[in-house]
Structure 1
Amino acid sequence: MLKQQVVPENVGLSTERLQRIRPVMQACVDQQQCAGVLTLIARRGQIVHLDCVGMMEIEANKAMQPNAIFRIYSMSKPITSVAALMLYEEGRFRLHDPVSKFLPPFKNTKVLVKATESGRLMLEDQEREMTMFDLLTHTSGLSYGFDPLCPIDKLYRKMYKELNILDHEDRLIHPYGVSLTDIMPELAKIPLRYQPGTRWHYGLSTDLLGYVVQVIADMPFDEFLQQRIFTPLNMQDTGFYVPAEKVDRFAAMYGPAEQGGLRPIDAPATSPYLQTQSFRSGGGGLVATAHDYLQFAQMLFNQGEFNGVRLLSRKTVEFMTMNHLSENVLQPEFEAKYPGYGFGLGVRMVSNVAQAGHVGSEGMFNWGGAAGTDFWVDPKEELIAIIMPQQLWDPSLKISLDFRVLTYQAIID
């Protein structure tokens, strides 16, 4: 177990400088950019900062608390990637195995060439089949369906509506309603946006990866995560739904209101997360506490081991957290969003601090979620940081970058 909060100076951080974090987080709340936020920093295996600002639920006048449960959305992806790599270590698949080895319908998935002015799609065969590596690196050609101008994404939206899995004003995949088994055959019918391996594009790759884990392990995906990751790491509050006895710790989710300020999007008492989900999204379906996610991040920092339990080997974690993609594959989408970064197997990592445009270290790896949550691990500085707001799809929310600066400026050794 990670030790509870210690004197920051014992691990090379300044107490005085860490106190700069709270006013910046409070300003975010005061300016109604978010309802509340939790920040956590650990160094050398010890928690040095844990603070809560603002409200967990404004309507109930409930303050943010250290054991709050958050929707972590795409911070689910590194967990699913670790699950897959555990099977990889067991020899259950090779990285360049075609996905169709486990899910035959994807063998015949077509690829978009272009759309004609009349709207007809010109398609071609896959030059090489989509692989497990492609799923881990978002180079599969799969999409999310969020681009209203892309004809392929329109097909995703059509599939979502037909399966009734849209939520939150048709902007996110609903966490329940249909199963992975229902979705994946339909997904295989939609053409890929790009030839596999040729371009990084954010999409349902990790959801498909989670389904492959389920098929290979011959075990429901949620059970695999529980048995192989959550229980060994003592992640007691992480899962695909919030049990009734924990709903009082479940944070409300907000979004920006048209006239400024905040508007509620998902209230704890009526949230779909209170129901057991049949669609267990490895790409974005988990809820967790900051402390649970710290256990997971510490395992990665420890190169695969935590509290005497080894999930991955040191070499596999090194392999996971190194860049695997060329500039040609990263351009233009990834490099436009994340200059100075490369992409590994489920996480991005800093390859050039200056180009990244913020303080940090080469080799620092991270990923975030749609509600503004973020984590990063800096092996060089022996540092882990986690920030947990619940502000959905708000590009103006910059507190994660502010928190990064505030974290690094506190280092004094």
Structure 2
Amino acid sequence: MTLAKPGNLGFCPRRLERIRPALERHIADDKLPGIVTLLARDGKVVQHEAYGGLHRGHSEPMTTDAIFRLYSMTKPITCVALMVLYEQGHFQLTDPAAKFISKFDDLKVAVEADQELVLEDLASPVTIHQLLTHTSGLSYSFSEYGSVEEGYRTARVCADQPLGDFIAALLEQPLAFQPGTRWRYSFSNDVVARLVEVISGLRFDDYLREHIFEPLRMNDTDFFVPEEKHHRFTSMYGSGDILAPDVPVSRLLDDLGAGVNIQLAGPDDCLEASPHDIMRGGHGLVSTAADYLRFCSMLLNGGVLDGTRVLGRKTVELMTVNHIASELLPLDEEGIPQPGVGYGLGFGVMMDVAQAGSIGSNGEYYWSGAASTSFWIDPVEMLVGIQLTQFQPSGAFTNAADFKVAAYQAMVD
């Protein structure tokens, strides 16, 4: 991967220099360990830099080929995997999930009435579309909306176990609301990964390698980092792991406020340090900025990259528009409204930059990860932005937003 001249892609070289100080101010022993950023326009890389170090207290500088835990930046890849099977005619988006996972037929919905928990029957089946859009009624164990999330934590449904066992344990719990009646960030995309396994007959990691990673030559992307690449694998820091089975998000925020900032995982002592069978669709992949660019470029090009087609153009268009009904907007993330944005099939979608208060373009699609990773794809400007670091909880620092502002202010044509 080579850098193009910024002026040839509509960027001012002097303004691009503002990216480094905007990111480096977030790097310190009590802040982020290091960051990698990448900007590409019209299929050419205009900026790709590393800041800080791979680890705290060591001499190894951060490198542009460093490997990061993606966390929820796994979700778009998972949803693309299922949509490949959609294109092959295996299902319709409106099909019930129970067509492939029978336990969905037995689900109940938790309703709190008069300080008591009542279990209701499903008013309608959970559909595949609802799993792709986080409107299924599932939730996350770190969320604190009510009794369902408490039940997840008590049952430790997020404990490390194979994907099929995890989904079975998850579906022992009631839904938080009737399917299709709310948007709530959730384990839904983990179920999407299980659908990929059931429909394809392959383990999820094998399916991703065969149908996405190898065709796109994403050679550093997987659920683990081989030992010969550990020298490029970053350490993760923060106040705690948001996906610990019994940890609510308020505990991470309280500990962060109290100054807790410790190493959560190193390159040799974490799940991803060796092959394992704890695959998930909502998190778990490791990758580099260059690899993730290849995935994003495939989407920006309408489903094809270097002559290899992963999806059809109309499927990409379907995935990257808002699917959330107006009465369910604005999106709610842990009780905080998110105006101006919607959600597609695995991506957030910018609907109104003014309401969102975010520089960019209407129609861009994006997502981020729990360890403060982020990306966006802007079809209007033919621009991809990727920012990778390793700190939990996400949002503790404004590194992602600062990178986006610095990127767009450098665009002059």
Per the TM superposition, whether the score is higher than 0.5 is yes
Q: Please say if residues 330 and 340 of structure 2, whose CA atoms lie closer than 8 Å, have aligned partners that are also in contact.
A: no
1:136 alignment partner in structure 2: 132
**CA distance 1:114–1:379, change in 2 (3 Å):** same
1:14 alignment partner in structure 2: 12
Q: Residue 154 in 1 paired to residue 150 in 2?
A: yes
2:319 alignment partner in structure 1: 320
What is the identity, as a one-letter code, of the residue corresponding to 2:70? I
The Cα offsets for residues 85-133 of structure 1, whole Å up to 9 and x where unpaired, read as 100011001101100000001111001111553xx52011111100000
- Deviation of 1:289 (Å): 0.6
1:187 alignment partner in structure 2: 170
What is the identity, as a one-letter code, of the residue corresponding to 1:53? Y
Runs of 4 or more, structure 1, over 3 Å off, are 256-262, 334-337
Q: Please say if residues 373 and 387 of structure 2, whose CA atoms lie closer than 8 Å, have aligned partners that are also in contact.
A: yes
Q: TM-score, normalised by structure 2?
A: 0.92
Q: Residue 36 in 1 paired to residue 28 in 2?
A: no
Classify the secondary structure of the residue corresponding to 1:95: coil
Separation of aligned partners in 2, 1:149 and 1:308: 46
Classify the secondary structure of the residue corresponding to 1:113: strand
Separation of aligned partners in 1, 2:311 and 2:410: 31
1:104 alignment partner in structure 2: 102
Alignment of 1:259-270 (within 5 A): 260=259, 262-270=261-269
Q: TM-score, normalised by structure 1?
A: 0.92
Classify the secondary structure of the residue corresponding to 1:62: coil
Classify the secondary structure of the residue corresponding to 1:88: helix
1:27 alignment partner in structure 2: 25
1:222 alignment partner in structure 2: 205
Q: Percent identity?
A: 42
What is the identity, as a one-letter code, of the residue corresponding to 1:139? T
2:141 alignment partner in structure 1: 145
- Deviation of 1:275 (Å): 2.8
**CA distance 1:261–1:198, change in 2 (3 Å):** closer
Separation of aligned partners in 2, 1:149 and 1:48: 43
Q: Please say if residues 40 and 387 of structure 1, whose CA atoms lie closer than 8 Å, have aligned partners that are also in contact.
A: yes
Separation of aligned partners in 1, 2:395 and 2:114: 33
**Structure 2: 5+ residue runs without aligned partners?**
240-255
Classify the secondary structure of the residue corresponding to 2:342: strand
Separation of aligned partners in 2, 1:155 and 1:331: 26
**CA distance 1:19–1:377, change in 2 (3 Å):** same
Separation of aligned partners in 2, 1:325 and 1:19: 38
Identify the range of structure 1 (95-104 vs 251-260) with the bigger mean alpha-carbon deviation. 251-260
Separation of aligned partners in 1, 2:114 and 2:287: 45
The Cα offsets for residues 158-179 of structure 1, whole Å up to 9 and x where unpaired, read as 232xx6x54xxxxxxxxxx411
Give the total of aligned pairs: 396
**Structure 1: 5+ residue runs without aligned partners?**
167-176
1:412 alignment partner in structure 2: 412
Identify the range of structure 1 (88-97 vs 147-156) with the bigger mean alpha-carbon deviation. 147-156
